Amino acid sequence: MPELKVTADHLKRDAYLYVRQSTLRQVAEHGESTQRQYALRERAIVAGWPTERIHVIDRDLGKSGSSSTARDGFQQLVSEVALGKAGIVMGLEVSRLARNSADWHRLIELCALTATLILDEDGIYDPAGFNDRLLLGLKGTMSEAELHILKARMRGGQLNKARRGELEMGPPVGLVYRTDGTIGLDPDAQVQSAIRLVFEMFERTGSAVQTVRFFREQGLQFPRRLRTGANKGDLLWASPQHSRILQVLHNPRYAGAFVYGRTRTRHRPDGGVSVVKVARADWQFVMPGMHQGYIDWERFEANQRRLADNAGAFGGERLSGPAREGPALLQGRVLCGLCGERMGVRYSREHSSTVPIYVCQESAVRRAGKICQTVPGKIVDAAVATLMIEMMTPMTLAVSLEVQRELEMRAHETDTARRQHVERLRYDAELARRRYMKVDPDNRLVADSLEAEWNDKLRRHAEAAKDYERRSKQQAATLSAAARQRILGLAEQLPQIWNDARVDFRERKRIVRLLLDDVTLIKAQNITAHVRLSGGATRTLKLERPLPIAQLRKFKPELVATVDRLLDQHCDREIADILNRDGWRTWEGKPFSLKKVAFIRGAYKLASRYDRLRRRGMLTTHEVATRFGIAKTTVYEWGRQGLIRKYYADSLNRGLWQIASETTILKGRGGRRSSPPQATPITTQPPE
């Protein structure tokens, strides 16, 4: 008999009754099962356990038995068995203790090691015995199989509904279920306006980040519907985050499609569950046009391609990505003509400005090879920009009108969104006022709270109304008649606008991306750029390679010859002034200076003016004084009197003197019969 398995050693230890129901609904509606589980206490009393030593563990009511992770009661039971405190473990069925084979067999193993009995509705089992252990294992396997069958049955019904597109799933904000069971747009006009504005701004900017930035700059908010809690179903308005905008753009339900299988649950080793996103190609059911949406399916597909293109800038391949702030006009559109890989962008400083360089480094990064080629971006960008202007000139008038329409539409949309926000706050303030007016004035505890809420709603409404008026005036000034006239003038001013430094680089890049697919570069004797336009047509540009810096810095031969000629009559400072006057400039476009002329003399080994005058027979001050036996001060005095001529002088007033070979100078004489020095020509006696 089963009672013979209960020994005195078992009765010395305590009895544990484990009670569990899978869901709270079962606890509330299936009370008979709960009563049957509690009734097992009588079985323990009959077996010999006193009432005070029978412990009931019912902390896991309303929890699934598929895992022991969230079942604190089951973990407590396992701990008591492992410590040898339990003489018997009771459960109505094996499924009440565990529906997972790993948890069930672990409990059987511990009971066998500690000589603990297991009791269910059918009898008492000793896990240390082979036959009982085999029977308990079979019951555990059947319990797990039963759970699998129940889940498969529910899963089959769920998939059958999903196959027809009739499975009800919580719709995202902006979509609601109607009374007839179909999905429609949210009747709240402000919610619809916010959702539509997200798709409109993404279509204009091509970037989710720019869409978020627009909402924040304009002070607009985005709705979120609470899914849980006491306020379930209420709308919460807040500034949008980047992840929130991406969720809206990636959700196909906004395109009116029924989609099932976008996510998949996976069990972690710690017993938890994680939700994994499934690739779009692996979605189980995709049914466009099942209900009303904010965009059509074609536009949703285009948005996904654009988002994938933007995300390529952050992946392992690092493809084009969205338009960035750098000056590289062809960022993300340049291909290497040697290996076919996409070329990256580097920037360098040149003449206090940032210039791009297109680099193909795929071989260096992926295969530890060498860089294929580097192409200066300033040459290619300028040529492609010229090509773009030539192509756009016939379309400028249409583009101008489209820009004007776009600005007006954008202003109208933002104005509508702000006005709806002000209207909602006004309604909230009016609702708070009605609540306050209905309260009993003597109930100050409630009246004070409602009055504070009313004042807060009034303050928010006043701030929103003030902000609405301020931004409306700004938009009105932006769309004035003068602004419209300037927009219409784009047709004639397109080249000037394109080259205007105030135009953002990203705007130019977006225009280029609309007109061309890619540009293949090959650098040889010249730079060859094969431009592939969006329509399939191609253009080939032949560009001159920029000269190396050494050749750029090298002075032109005619400039060197001019300096050599001027050195015969002028000093370095005078030559610099003459060169600047005649329009000569350095390789940097700067005027010449004394140091630049001296550098040219030293680099090209040109004789200085001093050396040239010495070769022409000019004498120094010391040599003149030695020749005539006079002091140096007398030499300067003769120069002031015009007896000799000074041709060269440095910063210390030292110079070279010219004395005609056919002239002699007679020194003066002091005293009572003084006479000044005189220069007389040398007469030659005719031969006798």
- Residue 137 contacts residue 108 (beta carbons within 8 Å): yes
Residue among 190, 217, 195 at smallest CA distance from 418: 190
| The amino acid at 2 | P
- CA 589 and chain centroid, separation: 39
Alpha-carbon distance 310 to 506, whole Å? 14
Joined tokens for residue 492: 């004639």
Which residue among 22, 66, 68, 95 is the active-site one? 22
* Token pair 């089992």: residue: 125
DSSP state of 207: -
Residue among 590, 591, 611, 603 at smallest CA distance from 560: 603
Alpha-carbon distance 69 to 66, whole Å? 9
| The amino acid at 69 | T
Residue among 168, 179, 249 at smallest CA distance from 207: 249
Q: Are strands 123-125 and 117-120 parallel, antiparallel or unpaired?
A: antiparallel
Joined tokens for residue 672: 């009572």
DSSP 338-369: TT-PBPEEEEEEETTEEEEEEE--HHHHHHS-
Alpha-carbon distance 89 to 87, whole Å? 7
Alpha-carbon distance 194 to 239, whole Å? 11
Residue among 171, 213, 169, 217 at smallest CA distance from 191: 171
3-state secondary structure 495-521: HHHHHCCCCCHHHHHHHHHHHEEEEEE
239 part of the active site: no
Strand order in the sheet with 14-18: 54-57, 14-18, 86-90, 117-120, 123-125
Residues 6+ apart with CB under 8 A from 601: 563, 567, 572, 608
Measured over the CA atoms of residue 657, residue 663, residue 669 and residue 672, the dihedral's sign is negative
What's the angle, vertex CA 237, arms to CA 231 and CA 243, rounded to 5?
Answer: 105
Which residues are bridge partners to 335 per DSSP? 342, 520
Q: Are strands 344-350 and 353-359 parallel, antiparallel or unpaired?
A: antiparallel
User: What are φ and ψ of residue 446, in 5° steps?
Assistant: -80, -40
Alpha-carbon distance 552 to 333, whole Å? 30
| The amino acid at 517 | D
State the CB neighbour count (10 A cutoff) for residue 674: 8
End-to-end alpha-carbon separation of the chain, Å? Answer: 174
Residue among 116, 64, 63 at smallest CA distance from 90: 116
Helix (H, G, I), strand (E, B) or coil at 278: coil
- Residue 655 contacts residue 668 (beta carbons within 8 Å): no
Residue among 655, 658, 666, 659 at smallest CA distance from 632: 655
Give helix 189-205 / helix 297-311 axis angle, nearest 10°.
Answer: 50
Give how far Cα 310 sits from Cα of 52, 86, 97, 203, 264, Å: 69, 62, 52, 13, 25
DSSP run (H or E) holding 9: helix 8-12
Alpha-carbon distance 156 to 594, whole Å? 92
Which residues are bridge partners to 355 per DSSP? 348
Active site residues: 22
